[in-house]
Structure formats: structure tokens, C-alpha cells
């Protein structure tokens, strides 16, 4: 259902681009705007992982520097049948996480210090499974296509502002139509882009819950993540708000509803969907969390809070959780 909705929204964005482009810039203007936007976003697609990780001053860790966290990701990646991604830690107190990379072979996952220090091992597993679901779904590619179309529409609106629209009869409303399109077109494109972002979050929640085998682990984590994001600032995210949509919860400010201008669904709605999934899987509230402590993410941290590598059976069928 989420895949169908994403495809439908992408089709709507494409149709919006084609229609507005023809009215504002004619065929030539439409193709120029699309080519420029595509070039910019192709560059971003190939380099976005490096740019984003650099923006947030992420530091890469491995089995020697952060064995518990690294091995947790390794086990979950094996369970999801994904190549091992690069693993990073952000030196931020706000609990949060994101994934980046143009495909599963070039993926990276990152978690903040606050996430590793305040969440239980089950909650961390739910969060990282969600991020691996983004990698599995190739959501970076989906959002790049979306950004290309939305950017091209915004460029067409700028063309109309500077050049007064196409000198033809494509626009039956004349200058009034041009002015309306200048205002409405970028706004409509932004709304569709944000709707696609929200849809991909719901899809990653579901897939992530299936990867770790326990939807309530992620549900519990989401509630704590939202509370932490409201209480603790993320300075790097504040300086780079364009990357906010990448995080599992909005690092800038909390949203109580799936409003049209939000890149993230309401946490309450996400939790409700996960609880419904848990019910479908025959899990009660008792399956929500174990007693594992937080993960420090550093060598020499709390032992036993994350499973050792190899604890996830690498079989083809689903297990109830990453620890068997």
C-alpha cells in the first residue's frame, strides 16, 4: 500500500511538472528546468552521503572502536539480507538516527551519542532496523527523484518571474495565470514531496519492525525519541535544516499531527500503526521491551547491552527478534 501510494504521488508530481512547465515555460523552458534540476540532484545523489556525514561531523566506528553498536548493526543487516553499511556516531546529546547512501552497497547508518546512551538495546535495535529499512527500500533514490521534480517546478516558477512566462498561448489565463502558477506551483510540489517523505517513514517503520521482529521495540523508541527531540536541541541539524527529513524523528521541532507541511508523520500515528502490526503478529504489550541497558557506542562500554556478532541466525525465514 505504501509503495502504491509513493508511486501515485510521484506520478502526480510528474504530471504537475509537465502541466505547469508547458504553461509557464513552453516545451523548451520545461526541458531546460528539468535538465538543470536533474544535474544538481544527480550530483547530490552521488555525493549526499559524504556531504551529510560531514555536515553533522559524524565519526566512523568499527568493531574495535564501538563493538557493541557495530555488531548490533551487523546482525540486523544480516537479518535484512543487506551488505554491511558503514557505521557512524554523531556527538549529539539529542537521541536520533539516520541512514544515507545511494544504494545498499554504498550505505551508511548513523546514531547520535544521546541515542546510544539513553535507549535500551531493544529500542536501539528497533531504531537501527528502521534505518536499514530505508536502505533496503532505496529511499535515497526515491527522494532524489522527488527532489529533482520539485526543484524543476520551482525553477519554472522562477523562469516565469523573470521572463513573464512563455510567449505563446499555452496559458489561457494570461499574466494572471502566470502569477498564480508562480505561487501555487512550488507550494504544490513541496506538499507532494513532504507527503512522499511521510509515506516512506511509515514503510520503513513496518519493514524495520519486521527486520527486528518486534514492532513494539520501535514503538517504544519512537516515543522516547520524540520526547528527547522536544527537550534537547541538535545544533548541527539546526544549522543544516535541509537534512532534517533524513532523521527518524524531526530533530528541529515536534509535530503533533500529519500536517501537510511536515516531513515526518505524527509519532502517535506511527506508534499506533506499529501496535496494530504487533497485534497482527500475535505480540502483546509484554513483548515491548526487555531489561537490556543502554549502549555507550564506545569500546569498553557497558558489556552485554547489545548482542555479540553472530547472535542473529542467518536463515531465510523471519525470527521473532534479533536475538533469536
Lookup: cell for 146: 522527488
Which of these is catalytic: 68, 92, 122, 131?
A: 131
- Sign (positive or negative) of CA dihedral 302, 227, 92, 51: positive
Tell me whether residue 134 is annotated as binding. Answer: yes
Q: What CA–CA distances, in Å, run from 156 to 12, 14, 169, 302?
A: 17, 13, 17, 55
Nearest CA-CA partner of 128 in 35, 225, 42: 225
Grid cell, residue 239, equals: 544549522
Note whether 119 and 137 are within 8 A (CB): no
Tell me if 130 is assigned to a ligand binding site: yes
Whole-angstrom CA distances from 303 to 56, 226, 281, 296 are: 28, 27, 31, 9
Using DSSP bridges, classify how beta strands 108-112 and 97-100 pair: parallel, antiparallel or unpaired: antiparallel
> What's the sign of the alpha-carbon dihedral 71, 76, 77, 79?
positive
| DSSP-derived 3-state class of residue 97 | strand
Any residues with CB less than 8 A from the CB of 97 and at least 6 apart, and which? 109, 110, 111, 112, 115, 127, 128, 130, 131, 247, 248
Question: Catalytic residue at 81?
Answer: no
Q: 94-112 b/e with 16+ CB inside 10 Å = b?
A: bbbbbbbbbebeebbbbbb
Query: Nearest 5 degrees, angle CA 287-CA 90-CA 60?
Result: 100
Residues in the chain, how many? Answer: 324
Query: Annotated binding residue at 317?
Result: no
Question: Taking Cα atoms as reference points, which of 58, 60, 207, 191 lies closest to residue 139?
Answer: 207
Q: What residue numbers does the annotated binding site cover?
A: 130, 134, 201
Q: What residue numbers does the annotated binding site for Zn(2+) cover?
A: 130, 134, 201
Which residues are catalytic, by number? Answer: 131
Amino acid at each position: 500500500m505504501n509503495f502504491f501510494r509513493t508511486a501515485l504521488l510521484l506520478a502526480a508530481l510528474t504530471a504537475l511538472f509537465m502541466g505547469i512547465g508547458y504553461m509557464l515555460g513552453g516545451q523548451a523552458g520545461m526541458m531546460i528546468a528539468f535538465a538543470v534540476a536533474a544535474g544538481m540532484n544527480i550530483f547530490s545523489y552521488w555525493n549526499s552521503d559524504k556531504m551529510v556525514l560531514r555536515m553533522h561531523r559524524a565519526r566512523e566506528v568499527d568493531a574495535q572502536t564501538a563493538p557493541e553498536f557495530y555488531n548490533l548493526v551487523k546482525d540486523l543487516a544480516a537479518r535484512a539480507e543487506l551488505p554491511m553499511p558503514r557505521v557512524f556516531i554523531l556527538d549529539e546529546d539529542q537521541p536520533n538516527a539516520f541512514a544515507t547512501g545511494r544504494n545498499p552497497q554504498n550505505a551508511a547508518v548513523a546514531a547520535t551519542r544521546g541515542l546510544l546512551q539513553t535507549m535500551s538495546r531493544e529500542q536501539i535495535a528497533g531504531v537501527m532496523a528502521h534505518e536499514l529499512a530505508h536502505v533496503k527500500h532505496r529511499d535515497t533514490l526515491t527522494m532524489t527523484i522527488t527532489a529533482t521534480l520539485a526543484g524543476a517546478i520551482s525553477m519554472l516558477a522562477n523562469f516565469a518571474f523573470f521572463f513573464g512566462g512563455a510567449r505563446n498561448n499555452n496559458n489561457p489565463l494570461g499574466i494572471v495565470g502566470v502569477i498564480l502558477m508562480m505561487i501555487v506551483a512550488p507550494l504544490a510540489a513541496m506538499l507532494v514531496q513532504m507527503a512522499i517523505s511521510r509515506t516512506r517513514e511509515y514503510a520503513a517503520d513496518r519493514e524495520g519492525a519486521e527486520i527486528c521482529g518486534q514492532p513494539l521495540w520501535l514503538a517504544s523508541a519512537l516515543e522516547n525519541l520524540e520526547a528527547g527531540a522536544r527537550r534537547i536541541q541538535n545544533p548541527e541539524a539546526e544549522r543544516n535544516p535541509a537534512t532534517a527529513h533524513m532523521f527518524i524523528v524531526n530533530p528541529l521541532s515536534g509535530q503533533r499531527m500529519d500536517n501537510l507541511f511536515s516531513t515526518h508523520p505524527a509519532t502517535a500515528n506511527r506508534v499506533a500503526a506499529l501496535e496494530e502490526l504487533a497485534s497482527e503478529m500475535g505480540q502483546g504489550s509484554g513483548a515491548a521491551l526487555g531489561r537490556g541497558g543502554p549502549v555507550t557506542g564506545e569500546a569498553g562500554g557497558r558489556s552485554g547491552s547489545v548482542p555479540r556478532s553472530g547472535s542473529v541466525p542467518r536463515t531465510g525465514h523471519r525470527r521473532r527478534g534479533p536475538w533469536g
